Structure 1
Amino acid sequence: MALTREKLVISALNTFLQEGYSGATIEGISENAGFSRGAFYAHFASKEDIFLEIVASEADKITPMLIERIEAASSPSEMIGIVSGWAEERSQTQSLAILMFEAMQQAQRNGTLDERYRQLFRQSWHSVGEAMRPFFPDQRLPCAPEEVVAIIVALSYSPIVSGAGGHKAGRLVELMLKALAQQP
């Protein structure tokens, strides 16, 4: 059972990347994995459910790694370098971010955007923001931890920032964190 689920998730990711969120179908995901629609529905209730699992899996990999890097920093400037480097790395991999944007837009239009997406991001972003807290003056963030990270994510994943705007996401994150952490 776990192997079937894993194959469906891999197939879904590949299908989403090839077809886009809107173009991907449960039939296509199932067929690409070598299974029937029934096998899909034995593991997932909908296309949204499997997409949420992909996003959650990615967050489960990225969040602890980023927190570990931040916690290993010995100064505010080192933390800023780590986070801005992460932002620059993320800005180079836009495909999943674009899929998430497309999926959320469609879910909002269809009225199917559920609290699970918001909760996933809120928890991950809060954890990363809390890891950054010790590097701010008096360990005080200027806003909620998840808001600081939301700004970082917005700068990191925005194709307009990194593409059309011609600005490096890592540099913008560095400038923003220096200002918020009152660093020269």
Structure 2
Amino acid sequence: MTDQDASAAAIATPAGIPAARPPRLTREQSRARTRERLLASAAVVFTREGYAGASIDRIAEEAGYSKGAMYSNFASKDELFFAMFDFYALGQANELCRRLDALDDPDALIAAVCDWADGMRHEPDLRLLVVDMARLARADAAVAARHTRMFDDEWHQVGSRLTKIFPGGVPPVPVLQLGALVMDIAYGNATQLHAGLTAGDLIGLALRALRDAYGARPAASARPGNA
């Protein structure tokens, strides 16, 4: 058997039909894959070493790329940091919304939020980076404004799904505040320093207290401005 025959046999299916080769990625697909790999490596390095301790060289090495590949996707360490934070924060919020969209029972909804919050410990732990993110945003008004808009949208999306835990779907507080309550507890730092409590414990306590306190009230008495 020639080398050419051996190569053909190696990629043949059991029926003797050559296996289809995977399609080649387009330039856009390849760039997107590289970007996601860089973001994943950035999450590992920033979480492990903090913003100040992380370097572009170390992140590129973690991803298996050159520093040039890094700078072809991100203009600076700050830009990479914010892109990484946005990518994972929005992804986690979208995952929570996806879970809540599949449920209607109030107790099941609250349980799903608690499970999601506790499960975040298995993702890149963005809680460790919240202070760094806030400090950098304060130093740049444009970045601060962009992140305010991002968080407003994220909190509104989460809060709007949680209206289902209240009678008639009318919460006692604006949906933005309801979403902010959940996300702020989920990303809070206190539970990292106390082994006896989790974010899910505190979120469950807060949501059940709101529901039970206002559940017996008619919808007309709910606080205005819930949109």
**Range into which the TM-score falls when normalised by the shorter chain:** 0.7 to 0.9
Structure 2 residue corresponding to 1:176, chosen from 206, 209, 212 = 206
Q: 1:61 to 1:111 in 2, by over 3 A?
A: closer
Matched, 1:58 2:88: yes
Q: In 2, distance between residues paired with 1:18 and 1:68?
A: 29
Q: Which is richer in helix?
A: 1
The structure, 1 or 2, with the larger RCO (C-alpha pairs under 8 Å, 6+ apart) is 1
Q: In 2, distance between residues paired with 1:10 and 1:126?
A: 26
User: Mean alpha-carbon deviation: is it higher for 96-105 or for 112-121?
Assistant: 112-121
Q: CA RMSD in A?
A: 2.8
**CA deviations over 1:69-124 (Å, ceiling 9, x no partner):** 2222232122112112222323676832111322222442x336432322222212
Count of residues in correspondence between the two structures: 183
Matched, 1:111 2:143: no
Amino acid at match of 2:98: E
Which position in structure 2 is the counterpart of 1:153? 183
SS in 2 for 1:166: coil
Amino acid at match of 1:115: A
Amino acid at match of 2:100: I
Q: In 2, distance between residues paired with 1:71 and 1:33?
A: 34
Structure 2 unaligned blocks of 5 or more:
1-30, 217-227
Amino acid at match of 2:140: G
TM-score normalized by the length of structure 2:
0.67
Q: 1:118 to 1:23 in 2, by over 3 A?
A: same
Q: 1:163 to 1:111 in 2, by over 3 A?
A: same
Q: In 1, distance between residues paired with 2:65 and 2:123?
A: 30
TM-score normalized by the length of structure 1:
0.80
Which position in structure 1 is the counterpart of 2:110? 80
Q: In 1, distance between residues paired with 2:39 and 2:122?
A: 23
Q: In 2, distance between residues paired with 1:106 and 1:52?
A: 9
**CA deviations over 1:112-138 (Å, ceiling 9, x no partner):** 643232222221221111111132123
Amino acid at match of 2:188: S
Which position in structure 2 is the counterpart of 1:68? 98
